[in-house]
Amino acid sequence: MIAATVGEIEGRLVEYLAGKLPEATSIRLEGLIRPSVGWSHEIWLFDAVWEQDGDVRSRGLCLRIDRGNTLLREHSSLAEQYRVLECLDATPVPTPTPFALEEDPGIIGAPFLIMDKAAGVCPSPWSREGKAFYAEAAARGGLPHSFTQTLAELHNLDWRAAGLDFLGVPGPGPDFACREVAKWRTLIESSGLEMDPVLVDLICTLEKDPPHTDRHVLVHGAYRTGNLMIAEDRVSAVLDWELQVIGDPMYDVAYVLSELNKEGSDLLSLVVDKHQFIEEYQELTGLTVDEEICHYYQLLYDMRVIAFWMSASGLFFSGQSSDLRLARTAWSIPVVLGQAARDLGY
């Protein structure tokens, strides 16, 4: 589906915002841009500026549009993302403030949500500039600590009190891991692409011996630089609430420890030393990092990444999307299969 033009978005948004800000007049949008981030939804950033009570006011906002062709397919829900943001708004976990959820596609052509722009920057860890940014921040020392502390805050959260049990609570033992494997298997099968033998090997291995967990926390699912707003060497907001689940904290820890997120750096997520992270995380949460269980979840992440790329390229090659970034992912599949094979020991 072709993305909306700037003019189309702008006109419809001004009208929509007028309904949400009844005391505002002369609403206009400034700096409306569509950054090249986000694989799941169409993202636009802008400042809403208006007059109210004789003053000029503004609010930085982020718009996420669900065009119905997200690579996560039925596993992605704007409504769920919005509800998670609402639940987390009153907690110590730093997240963007939710502004509006609109499920009526008649407003701008598809359902969307709007949230406040969070303070700070979120450099891409895959860019030269991003790598330099994180290297310098790591050297200053504040961000490594904030990175770990924010994850600990997330895992220490009383998710039931925050109203997050609507996400679904896994049963005891291996239920969480089994659910995750089944989820990504569904995504792989919906891509319409044939499974590689290495992927078959990976899935069979994962289904054979899932880990047991006694403690369930709010798991972000993609906790890394590139999904964190950074302001003054601190995490100002955790972004990308699409993959969250109630589950095993080692799932997030494994993601942090993953080679896939080091981008050639010696530091986890380009910012924190492994030993420093483990020591501080254990101290702040009271949990023990189990590297054997983390290895299982590393294999599961390999499966998940392959599922993403198969889904993405499947959307392009089936004609459901014209986004060339999705086509590009077809060539990433063998790379992750290679990583999976190495993680399986060959």
Footprint of other proteins on this chain (CB under 8 A)? Answer: 3, 33-36, 194-198, 200-201, 204-205, 208, 323-325, 327-328, 331, 334-335, 337-338, 341, 344-346
21 burial (CB, 10 Å; 0-12 / 13-18 / 19+) is: middle
> Which tokens sit at 292?
């054997």
Q: In the bound complex, what is the minimum distance in angstroms from residue 325's beta carbon to other proteins?
A: 5
Shortest gap between Cβ of 184 and other proteins (angstroms)?
A: 17
Q: What is the DSSP letter of 165?
A: G
Q: Which is nearer to other proteins, 11 or 197 (CB)?
A: 197
- The CA-based dihedral angle spanning residues 215, 217, 222, 228, taken in that order and rounded to the nearest 10 degrees: -140
Minimum distance, C-beta of residue 86 to other proteins, in the bound complex (Å): 29
First and final C-alpha spacing in the chain: 41
> In terms of CB distance, is 10 or 201 closer to other proteins?
201
- Shortest Cβ distance from residue 324 to other proteins (Å)? 4
Structure tokens that stand for 8 in this block? 């189309």
Closest to other proteins by CB, 124 vs 156, is 124
**Cβ closest to other proteins, residue 175 vs residue 201:** 201
Quick one: tokens of 218?
A: 């709010």
State the nearest-atom distance from the C-beta of 208 to other proteins, in Å.
7
Integer Cα distance of 289 and 156 in angstroms: 15
Specify burial of residue 49 (Cβ count, 10 A radius: 0-12, 13-18, 19+): middle
Contact of 248 with 211, CB cutoff 8 Å: yes
CB of 337 to other proteins, least distance (A): 6
Shortest distance (Å) from residue 69 CB to other proteins:
15
Nearer to other proteins, 39 or 86 (CB): 39
| CA separation, residue 22 to residues 25, 53, 97, 227, 238 (Å) | 8, 12, 19, 33, 30
C-beta closer to other proteins: residue 152 or 333: 333
220 and 198 in contact (C-beta within 8 Å)?
no
* 243, 226 Cβ separation under 8 angstroms: no
Q: Which is nearer to other proteins, 139 or 335 (CB)?
A: 335
* Cβ nearer to other proteins, comparing 38 with 60: 38
The residue among 302, 297, 299, 71 whose CA lies nearest residue 190 is 71
* Chain-centroid distance, C-alpha 186: 19
DSSP state of 287: -
The angle formed by the CA atoms of residues 341, 343 and 345, to the nearest 5 degrees, is: 70
Smallest gap from Cβ 35 to other proteins, in A, equals 6
